[in-house]
Amino acid sequence: MECAVDAQSLISISLMKIHNSRTQRGGIKLHKNLLVSYVLRNARQVYIKEKYAEIYRMQQYEEVMTVCNEIQELNPLELDAEDADDEEQARAACCGEEASLCGTACHRDAAQQPAAHGRAASALHGCSPLEDDHKEPEPSYYRSCCMEASPVSHCDQFPANSSAHCNKTTVLDLDTHVVTTVENGYLHQDCCCDALQCGQSAQSPAKKRKVEFGCCISDAEEVSDFTAARKRAKREDCSYSSPDYTDTSNISNLISIFGSGFSGLLSRQADLDQICSKQVLASLGAWTRAIVAF
Amino acid sequence: STGVAGGNDFQWCFSQVKGAIDEDVAEADIISTVEFNYSGELLATGDKGGRVVIFQHEQESKNRPHLRGEYNVYSTFQSHEPEFDYLKSLEIEEKINKIRWLPQQNAAHFLLSTNDKTIKLWKISERDKRAEGYNLKDEDGRLRDPFRITSLRVPVLMPMDLMVEASPRRIFANAHTYHINSISVNSDHETYLSADDLRINLWHLEITDRSFIFEEPEDPSSRSFFSEIISSISDVKFSHSGRYMMTRDYLSVKVWDLNMENRPVETYQVHEYLRSKLCSLYENDCIFDKFECCWNGSDSAIMTGSYNNFFRMFDRNTRRDITLEASRESSKPRATLKPRKVSTGGKRKKDEISVDSLDFNKKILHTAWHPKDNVIAVAATNNLYIFQDKIN
């Protein structure tokens, strides 16, 4: 098995190689660039799958938060404050919950698209939705970016008025050697519905209802500004110990308490199924990992 | 058994090394191709600077009959020069990508050498006599005034010091849009192929309308980001018998029976321990290294290069394999080469080298095996090593 590799960094590296080949002595080497384009294609496929999984997971989280709030209003529970360091349990619980949510959908989808599921499952570590022990699966060689805070670009962060129509293209300027991501959307808000940004998820989940799946699903190169995004991801990593963390761990605890009965509380299950079946859900290897939401 | 790869009776020992010793390697001196001629008497190398150096095997010395003869420089010439394509604003490298000998038909030797764009047919001939006593010109070549000639004489051939001349006889240019990567002389000795990344050109063709595709189905469980790169074939060689074909991809060598195109008959792992390092090898471009492979004269063994100046031999009969190193340290005359081993597990035994200690800048891409004897030529960057079997 190959070492765990980041799809996004492979995309950056590949683009740089293609760019550099223009100035290599002797001219562009056709065969080498062809091979590089294969890596680019493979990495892009994985990256897009991870994006879908992430979008789905974010929407799942929205739903969960919405219901949580509704339930809390109805019957405020006195909960023991979670130990701020007990993130594993919180994460595992949330993960397990969402895994079981995905599980039913996953199996349904598998029935509909067995080929896709099978193929993707062999390529990525498959979804193991019904396990009760949420141990970390072996890293597949397509490691999801969700282990670290994802470099979700601004385009993926939906503004409060979620009717934003966001188009994103990436441009590699061959003269100035700059990679820029051009977004024709609305504001570049730091949306707190991004589940991967620590400490902010508690803040106003109820606002974020709609998910624009049309956004960012384009055939153009889906390459965002990785360097900046990875730096941002690193900063976010450090905020685990922020005071907001206590709140989010309380929330995850809520979810774990409701357990399997929780799925019945979701009013938009049908919608989610539909969304599930549209995406390549075999990439739900992301589900079985710790959901770095808190 | 006397297998050539690690058999009980068989041992390789150092014979010669050609090239400069310093650590600072000039780019132009990097050897880019190695090829024995049909008899094994001549060994040609091409380098990145566009030069061809031909070594000739000297006869065994009467004084030291226990030594095989050595290879010494026979001819050196500049085959290709850097060019500039003004239309495309591109520089064309002078690096010699491939040398192929033509079978000898008269006293002269012919070879084809190619860079990225131009193939040249060179005639290498010996001159050991010189005509003297011309009528119309005097000894230093100046023309004589015909009116001054009072008598005629017949020029006489006089011996002279041996001179080896290389002259270009044909230049095949402007036939390839992409970079030429290989040439191959046909068995009819009248036609040859040249191939670039997309197309193959036939020169003096004979069109055959049958073609076969040799392809092994991909193993889905080993799929990765780099599957296409590592399955890309970097070299193909027919066996001397014509029955088999050998292909080299990044991690393995495969032997194919020409009668069976659905899968290889033999697969040899060259350096499987690199499979977990593919990402780093992609970043530093090593994954694009194109290793060659070659057969021995009897097709019983195959050889290919690796990193850290290691090269590997596989004996097809005994199934044994051996890893040897081309290094200055083991370059004492007739010193036996010690087998090397790369440790892949946790514990590293004495004399083993760990994967992380391998020098990926020292790569052996080009190797050649004498068509008749157990003599091999191994190109290690800017040095050419010649090894032979121990004469018992």
A264 touches chain B (CB under 8 A): no
Tell whether the model's pLDDT for residue B131 goes beyond 50: yes
What is the model's pLDDT at position B21? 85
C-beta atoms of A39 and B90 within 8 A: no
> How far A19 CA lies from chain B's nearest CA (Å)?
14
Average pLDDT along chain B? 87
Tell whether the model's pLDDT for residue A83 goes beyond 80: no
What is the model's pLDDT at position B236? 85
Of the candidate ranges B48-52, B58-62, B262-266, the one whose mean pLDDT is the lowest: B58-62
Interface test with A, best of B225, B234, B249 (most A CBs within 10 A): B225
Tell whether the model's pLDDT for residue B191 goes beyond 80: no
CB under 8 A, 24+ apart: contacts of B68-76? B68/B15, B68/B373, B68/B375, B68/B388, B68/B391, B70/B15, B70/B16, B71/B16, B71/B18, B71/B43, B71/B386, B74/B42, B74/B164, B75/B124, B75/B164, B75/B165, B75/B166, B76/B51, B76/B52
Q: What is the mean pLDDT of residues B299-306?
A: 97
Of the candidate ranges A192-206, B133-147, B165-179, B368-382, the one whose mean pLDDT is the lowest: A192-206
Tell whether the model's pLDDT for residue B39 goes beyond 90: yes
Tokens of B112: 């084809």
C-beta atoms of A122 and B220 within 8 A: yes
Tell whether the model's pLDDT for residue B120 goes beyond 50: yes
C-beta atoms of B92 and A27 within 8 A: yes
Tokens of B62: 């009467």
What is the model's pLDDT at position A113? 42
Task: Return the higher-pLDDT residue of B147 and A178.
Answer: B147
C-beta atoms of B288 and A42 within 8 A: no
What is the model's pLDDT at position B71? 95
What is the model's pLDDT at position A170? 59
Q: What is the mean pLDDT of residues B26-47?
A: 96
Q: What is the mean pLDDT of residues B182-193?
A: 74
A43 touches chain B (CB under 8 A): yes
- Give the whole-angstrom CA distance, residue B120 versus residue B321: 38
Q: What is the mean pLDDT of residues A259-288?
A: 38
What is the model's pLDDT at position B144? 85
* A-chain residues near B179 (CB < 8 A): 26-27, 29-31
Tokens of B174: 């402007």
> How far A36 CA lies from chain B's nearest CA (Å)?
8
Tell whether the model's pLDDT for residue A87 goes beyond 50: no
With cut-offs at 50, 70 and 90, classify the pLDDT of residue B193.
confident
- Give the whole-angstrom CA distance, residue B110 versus residue B115: 17
> How far B299 CA lies from chain A's nearest CA (Å)?
30
Q: What is the mean pLDDT of residues B35-46?
A: 96
* A-chain residues near B93 (CB < 8 A): 25-26
Q: What is the mean pLDDT of residues B66-90?
A: 87
What is the model's pLDDT at position B65? 60
With cut-offs at 50, 70 and 90, classify the pLDDT of residue B180.
confident
Tell whether the model's pLDDT for residue A280 goes beyond 50: no
A5 touches chain B (CB under 8 A): yes
C-alpha R_g of chain A: 20
A23 touches chain B (CB under 8 A): no
What is the model's pLDDT at position B223? 87
In tens, the pLDDT along A2-59 reads 444 789 999 999 999 999 988 888 888 888 999 999 999 999 999 999 889 989 999 8
- Give the whole-angstrom CA distance, residue A2 versus residue B344: 14
C-beta atoms of B90 and A32 within 8 A: no
CB atoms within 10 A of CB B198: 12
CA angle B282, B284, B289 (to 5 degrees): 70
* A-chain residues near B90 (CB < 8 A): 26-27
* A-chain residues near B178 (CB < 8 A): 30
Task: Return the higher-pLDDT residue of B307 and A86.
Answer: B307
Beta-carbon contacts of B183 under 8 Å, excluding residues fewer than 6 positions away, are B98, B100, B112, B114, B119, B192, B193, B194, B195
A12 touches chain B (CB under 8 A): no
What is the model's pLDDT at position A269? 41
Task: Return the higher-pLDDT residue of A184 and A129.
Answer: A184
Task: Return the higher-pLDDT residue of B264 and A146.
Answer: B264
Q: What is the mean pLDDT of residues A131-142?
A: 40
C-beta atoms of B225 and A25 within 8 A: no
- Give the whole-angstrom CA distance, residue A106 versus residue A115: 13
With cut-offs at 50, 70 and 90, classify the pLDDT of residue B26.
very high
Is the torsion defined by CA of B214, B216, B217, B222 positive or negative?
negative
Task: Return the higher-pLDDT residue of A119 and B301.
Answer: B301
A138 touches chain B (CB under 8 A): no
In tens, the pLDDT along A160-218 reads 444 444 455 555 555 565 666 555 543 333 333 333 333 333 434 434 333 333 333 33
What is the model's pLDDT at position A276? 40
Beta-carbon contacts of B51 under 8 Å, excluding residues fewer than 6 positions away, are B28, B76, B77, B78, B79, B96
- Give the whole-angstrom CA distance, residue B53 versus residue A68: 79
Tell whether the model's pLDDT for residue B124 goes beyond 70: yes
Percent of chain B with pLDDT over 70: 90
What is the model's pLDDT at position B34? 97
Task: Return the higher-pLDDT residue of A139 and A6.
Answer: A6
C-beta atoms of A3 and B279 within 8 A: yes
* A-chain residues near B27 (CB < 8 A): none
> How far B230 CA lies from chain A's nearest CA (Å)?
9
What is the model's pLDDT at position B272? 96
B115 to chain A: closest CA residue: A26
A270 touches chain B (CB under 8 A): no
What is the model's pLDDT at position B8? 59
Tell whether the model's pLDDT for residue B237 goes beyond 80: yes
C-beta atoms of B228 and A2 within 8 A: no
> How far A287 CA lies from chain B's nearest CA (Å)?
21
Task: Return the higher-pLDDT residue of A150 and B112.
Answer: B112
With cut-offs at 50, 70 and 90, classify the pLDDT of residue B200.
low
- Give the whole-angstrom CA distance, residue A111 versus residue A224: 34
Task: Return the higher-pLDDT residue of B55 and A137.
Answer: B55
What is the model's pLDDT at position B116? 92
Interface of B with A (CB under 8 A): 85, 88, 90-93, 95, 116, 178-179, 181, 196-198, 220-221, 223-229, 232, 275-279, 282-283, 285, 288
Strands of the sheet containing B252-257, edge to edge, are B235-238, B244-248, B252-257, B266-269
- Residue B231 DSSP code: H
What is the model's pLDDT at position B370? 96
Name the nearest CA neighbour of B166 among B125, B127, B107.
B125
A41 to chain B: closest CA residue: B225
* B-chain residues near A122 (CB < 8 A): 220-221, 223
> How far A177 CA lies from chain B's nearest CA (Å)?
19
Name the nearest CA neighbour of A198 among A251, A152, A240, A229.
A240
Residue for token pair 């960057």: B381
> How far A118 CA lies from chain B's nearest CA (Å)?
11
Residue A107 one-letter amino acid:
H
A74 touches chain B (CB under 8 A): no
Task: Return the higher-pLDDT residue of A211 and B373.
Answer: B373
Contact by Cβ (8 Å): B376, B386: yes
C-beta atoms of A3 and B277 within 8 A: yes
Of the candidate ranges A36-50, A122-136, B208-222, the one whose mean pLDDT is the lowest: A122-136
pTM value is 0.59
In tens, the pLDDT along B259-292 reads 887 889 999 999 999 999 999 999 999 999 999 9
